[in-house]
Amino acid sequence: MSISDRSTTEVGRDRGSIPAGRADSARPAASQPGPMNETRRAHQRRNARRLNLFIALFAAPALIVYLTFVLLPVLLAAFYSFWKWNGLGPLTEFVGIENYARALSDPVFLGAVGHNLFFVIASLLVQGPIAIGAALLLNRPLRGRTVLRVAIFIPYVLSEVIAGVAWRLLLQPNGPFDSFLAAVGLGGLKQLWLADTNLVLWTVFAVVSWKYLGFAIILFLAGLQGVPEELSEAAQIDGASWWQTQRHITIPLLGPTIRIWAFLSIIGSLQLFDMVWIMTGGGPANATSTMATYMIQFGFQRSQFGFGSAVAVILFVVSFIFALIYQRFVLSRDIGGTMSRRVG
Amino acid sequence: MKNRRSIMRTAAVTLAAGTLALTGCAGGGGGGGGGEGGGDVTLTWWHNGTQGVLKEYWQSVADAFEEENPGVKVEIQVTQNEELQRTKIPNALRSNNPPDLFQQWGGGEMAAQVEAGRLLDISDDVEEELDSIGGKAAGWQFEGQTYGLPYSMGIEGFWYNKAMFEQAGITTPPATMDELNDAVSKLKAAGITPIAVGAADKWPAAHYWYNFALRSCSQETLEQASAEFDFSDPCFEEAGEHLQSFIETEPFQEGFLATSAQQGAGSSAGMLANGQAAMELMGHWNPGVMAGLTESGEGLGENLGWFNFPGVEGGEGDPKAALGGGDGFSCSWQAPPECVDLLKFVVNVENQRAFAETQTGLPVAEGSEDAVTDPTMQTLLEGRDSAPYVQLWLDTTFGPTVGGAMNDAIANMFAGQAQPGDIVKAMTDAAATL
């Protein structure tokens, strides 16, 4: 017990270089007579071995779960994607890249990719400014601030399925939402929210924004806590207005948070599934399909697991390449080194 | 939209689980298999009767079977229908530890299971039962062999509100398309939404095309189509033309593309049940669904009527033929012989009569018909038994790959984005990927 305690604190403190003196005091019986530096080296070797063992032991559970439930399935999906397979019998028909060619030449899939890109761009352009603005406001001393914060965060806490079903029922033709519009004198705005193929993508985007704005706002509020007050005070003393302070001090210092939020938002948009699936099923007439709904609809529901796997791999590769590029060029300042070089 | 788990990851896990099951646990043994000598056998039985009456009924059947067959134990596992059909059974059949007796919807899905060697061929053991059930067992047969038996078979047609028909001055239920179009105009003139359709779920919309195809295509053409995926006969395109001109008469409720079939009072079944629409094209289960969507829990009650899909002029299909589907059971490939005994027990006349009394379906065994007492259900039963043939739902018949492509293409036509030829092309293209 004492050994493991000590080793972990050492790992935490100075990443591996273990002071020999402490090791000596822990195991006095192990010290042999002889030249001082040789004993020390032997100790260091033994300690390094022990340290590796501990790292292995502590990392093993997470690593096993990761390998079994993340890496292996990804590899298996990649393997299946080269076969024609209905999910029942053994793999018998190798088709090479046919599944990929089929997906990439299917206008419905390309449409789905387009919808994903729409969500990526619209989320950044619409959700970002709204969330930053709301966070700046909620960061000021304000009566009922806590209540407001909770209200804004509730949609995010709500289960996606519940939120999706609720909105689907609210937005049905002549449904409660239309009645609400009529009641407040906006009856003229009534639309076939989920049935109009030209409108439905925007409807889904609005609901998705409603659902995830709370998360963005909370993230930005947390980021704002890390902005030192002294800077704003100094700016105020220099005569900067509230707006100038936000524009030139707060928002630039919020940069790391914004960049992380944008990353999560883009990945989420690329993999968007549940809200779309529940509200529209990707329809009507594929007007709201995303790569993920396409995969479920054409791969799994149609019992073409090889093809579905190919779509899954495409979705994975797109997200992965994007993540690498983003980390390399945008996040490099914030998380310096975790992806590119060893932490020294 | 952030912080969500990767769907692909989940999907891949499912795949991996399947593979692990395939490679990992060879030789698990399929549930007992005690042999001929009457030793102790445990049968596992998976069905979809999650609702009270049916659940109790299947349990009573299992109890009676155990009593008649000492040494045999029946273990029932109940699962919600779609979950059972799309996830649990395919996964179990991929593994080496499937249930012995399980829900079987027949058609192309069953054919895939047969081709993978996952079902027990029971042809020689059920000759008597086949005599009793007759042509209705066809959906559970593949290439002349029998791999399961139905216990319930219903058909589809228009469910309608008699009071609304009266209000609009419609005296007899429409028997031809002209009469149906006429009824639609009369209902509209009376300010009533003629037909509710749950097009958001796709299949309720697709069933219109199925019915037009049933009227346009001869029985032989449909049989050939399901055996060879040959959709070149012009009757399939004709079905699309009929549907397209029917949609153009705007018989459906506003915004039908976003209406679901059974979800809440605003669904198509809910609209019919609550007097917001006069008709709905739906299967035999509709009265039960509608009842659940009304406050009284009774649906339309006495006001509910039923008529078969009208015939079309010049169609090669028999105007009295019906589209339908059923519920049945199959034994998995490793099941002990007692599984077949249980299946035979389920469909014997006595149990079929008891099943009819649960009012959850229409029995199939000869001699059980008069146990159906509800007047509407009797109309339905008459329609079924007077039909020269009952065509299984086309998506079930063609299997998920072609059937799914067909349903999507038909739903696109409802959205005004597919021509009659597009539906046939979607089906032919999907068949080419098999």
Are A189 and A245 in the same domain? Answer: yes
Of the candidate ranges A330-344, B135-149, B210-224, B357-371, the one whose mean pLDDT is the lowest: A330-344
Question: Do residues A25 and A132 share a domain?
Answer: no
A36: number of Cβ within 10 Å:
9
pLDDT of the residue at A335: 66
Q: Which residues of A touch B263 (CB under 8 A)?
A: 165, 168-169
Helix (H, G, I), strand (E, B) or coil at B159: strand
Give, as one character, the DSSP assignment of residue A284. S
Same-domain pairing of A125 and A258? yes
Residue-wise pLDDT tens digits, A228-271: 888 888 988 998 888 888 888 888 999 999 999 999 999 999 99
Quick one: A146 and A243 in the same domain? yes
Interface touch B12/A292, C-beta < 8 Å:
no
Per the CB < 8 Å rule, is A76 touching B16? yes
Whole-number pLDDT of residue A31 = 46
Q: What is the mean pLDDT of residues B191-217?
A: 95
Question: Which stretch of B59-68, B362-371, B401-410, B411-420 has the lowest confidence by average pLDDT?
Answer: B362-371
pLDDT for residue B142 is more than 70: yes
Kindly indicate the confidence band of residue A344, based on its pLDDT and cuts at 50, 70 and 90: very low
Q: Is A88 close to B113, i.e. CB distance below 8 A?
A: yes
Q: How far apart are CA B429 and CA B434, in angstroms?
A: 9
Q: Is the pLDDT of residue A274 over 80?
A: yes
Model confidence at B227, pLDDT cuts 50, 70, 90, reads confident
Q: What is the pLDDT of residue B27?
A: 36
Confidence of residue B205 (pLDDT cuts 50, 70, 90): very high
**Residue A45: both structure tokens together:** 């070797």
pLDDT higher than 60, residue B18: no
The pLDDT of residue A12 is above 70: no
Q: What is the pLDDT of residue A6?
A: 40
How many interchain CB pairs under 8 A, A with B?
178
In this model, does residue A29 exceed pLDDT 90?
no
Range in A184-193, B146-155, B237-246 the model is least confident about: A184-193
pLDDT beyond 50 at A60: yes
pLDDT of residue B65: 95
Give the number of domains in chain A.
2
Q: What pLDDT is stored for residue B3 in this prediction?
A: 39
For domain B40-155+324-377, say whether CATH 2.115.10.20 is its number. no
According to CATH, what is the number of the domain B157-323+393-432?
3.40.190.10
* pLDDT reported for residue A200: 95
Residue B87 CA neighbour count, 13 Å, CB half: 9
Instruction: Kindly report the average pLDDT of chain A as a whole number.
Output: 84
pLDDT of residue B2: 38
Q: Tell me which residue of B118, B4, B394, B86 sits closest to A300, measured CA to CA.
A: B86
Q: What is the tens place of the pLDDT at every residue in B28-49? A: 333 333 344 446 899 999 998 8
Q: Which residues contact A105 (CB under 8 A, 6 or more apart)?
A: none
Reduce the DSSP state of residue B75 to 3 states and report it.
Answer: strand
One-letter amino acid of A276: V
Please answer whether residues B105 and B325 qualify as being in contact, where contact means their C-beta atoms are separated by less than 8 angstroms.
Answer: yes
- A229 plus A303 within the same structural domain: yes
Question: Confidence band (pLDDT; 50, 70, 90) for B11?
Answer: very low
Residue A216 lies in a domain: yes
Residue of B nearest to A285 (CA): B412
Query: Does residue A68 register a pLDDT over 90?
Result: yes
Model confidence band, residue A44 (pLDDT cutoffs 50, 70, 90): confident
Ordered by start, the domain boundaries in chain B are 40-155+324-377, 157-323+393-432
What per-residue confidence (pLDDT) applies to B9? 46
Mark which residues 218-257 of B lie under 8 Å from A by CB.
253-257
Q: Is residue A228 part of a domain?
A: yes
**Residues A43, A138 share a domain:** no
Same domain, A53 and A115: no
Rounded Cα–Cα distance for residues B408 and B422 (Å): 11
* Any domain includes A206: yes
Contact B1 A174 (CB under 8 A): no
Is B408 in contact with A282 (CB distance < 8 Å)? no
Q: Which residues of B touch A298 (CB under 8 A)?
A: 404
Query: What is the DSSP-derived secondary structure letter of residue A52?
Result: H
If asked whether residues A158 and A37 sit together in one domain, one would say no
Q: Looking at chain A from residue 211 to 270, which residues have their Cβ under 8 Å from any Cβ of chain B?
A: 211-212, 215-216, 261, 264-265, 267-269
With bands split at pLDDT 50, 70 and 90, how would you rate the model's confidence at A36? low
What pLDDT sits at residue A334?
A: 73
For the segment A159-181, what is each residue's pLDDT rounded down to a tens digit?
A: 999 999 999 989 988 888 988 99
CB–CB of B293/B190 below 8 Å? no
> Does B8 have pLDDT greater than 50?
no
| Residues A295, B8: C-beta atoms closer than 8 Å | yes
Per-residue pLDDT at B16 = 45
pLDDT value of position A336: 59
Residue range B48-70, pLDDT digits in tens: 887 778 889 999 999 999 999 99
Based on the domain organization, do A245 and A189 belong to the same domain? yes
Sign of CA dihedral A323, A326, A329, A334: negative
Q: Does A32 have pLDDT greater than 60?
A: no
Query: What is the DSSP secondary-structure string of B357-383?
Result: HTTSS-B-STT-GGG---HHHHHHHHH
Q: Which of A19, A43, A59 is the last residue of a domain?
A: A59
Q: With 80 as the cut, is the pLDDT of residue B346 above it? A: yes
Q: Residue B100: how many CA atoms within 13 Å on its side-chain side?
A: 25
Residue A140 included in any domain? yes
Residues of A in contact with B142 (CB under 8 A): none
Report B:152-171 residues touching A (Cβ under 8 A): none
Residue A131 forms contact with B (CB below 8 Å): no
Give residue for tokens 């883009």. Answer: A266
Residue B260 to residue B124: CA distance in whole angstroms: 43
Q: How confident is the model at residue A26 (pLDDT cuts 50, 70, 90)?
A: very low
In percent, how much of chain B has pLDDT > 70?
91
- Cα–Cα distance, A160 to A136 (Å, whole number): 27
Q: Per residue in A73-98, pLDDT tens?
A: 999 999 999 999 887 777 888 999 99
The model's pLDDT over A95-128, given as tens digits with 9 standing for 90+, comes to: 999 999 999 999 999 999 999 999 999 999 999 9
Spell out the alpha helix ranges (H) of B157-233: 162-167, 177-189, 203-216, 219-228
Q: Dihedrals φ, ψ of B39, to 5°?
A: -70, -175
Distance CA A274, CA A34 (A): 68
Q: Give dist(CA B249, CA B181) in Å, integer.
A: 8
CA distances from A136 to A146, A211, A214, A334, B433 (A): 14, 20, 13, 22, 54
Please report where in the chains the tokens 């449909």 appear, as a residue.
B222
Q: Give the three-class secondary structure for A47.
A: helix
Determine the pLDDT at residue A121.
Answer: 96
pLDDT at B358 over 90: no
Q: Could you tell me which residues come within 8 angstroms of residue B35 by beta carbon, excluding any fewer than 6 positions away? A: B336
**B window 330-389, beta carbon within 8 A of A:** none
Please tell me if residue A70 touches chain B, with a CB cutoff of 8 Å. yes
Dist. CA B414–CA B434, nearest whole Å: 26
| B190: DSSP letter | T
CATH number of A123's domain: 1.10.3720.10
How far apart are alpha carbons A296 and A227 in whole angstroms? 44
Which pLDDT tens digit goes with each residue over B143-201? 889 999 999 999 999 999 999 999 999 999 999 999 999 999 999 999 999 999 999 98
What pLDDT score was predicted for residue A295?
Answer: 95
Q: How far apart are CA A301 and CA A223, in angstroms?
A: 43
| Domain contains A82 | no
pLDDT attached to residue B37 = 45
What is the bridge-based pairing of β-strands B279-282 and B157-161? antiparallel
Q: Are A263 and A326 in contact (CB under 8 A)?
A: yes
Look up tokens 């033994």; give the residue. A46
- The whole domain housing A29 covers 2-59
pLDDT over threshold 90, residue B339:
yes
CA distance A269 to A266: 5
Q: Is the pLDDT of residue B85 over 80?
A: yes
Mutation target vs A (from B8, B9, B91; most A CBs, 10 A cutoff): B8
Q: Is the pLDDT of residue A341 over 80?
A: no
- For A305-332, give the DSSP string: HHHHHHHHHHHHHHHHHHHHHHHHHTST
ipTM score: 0.79
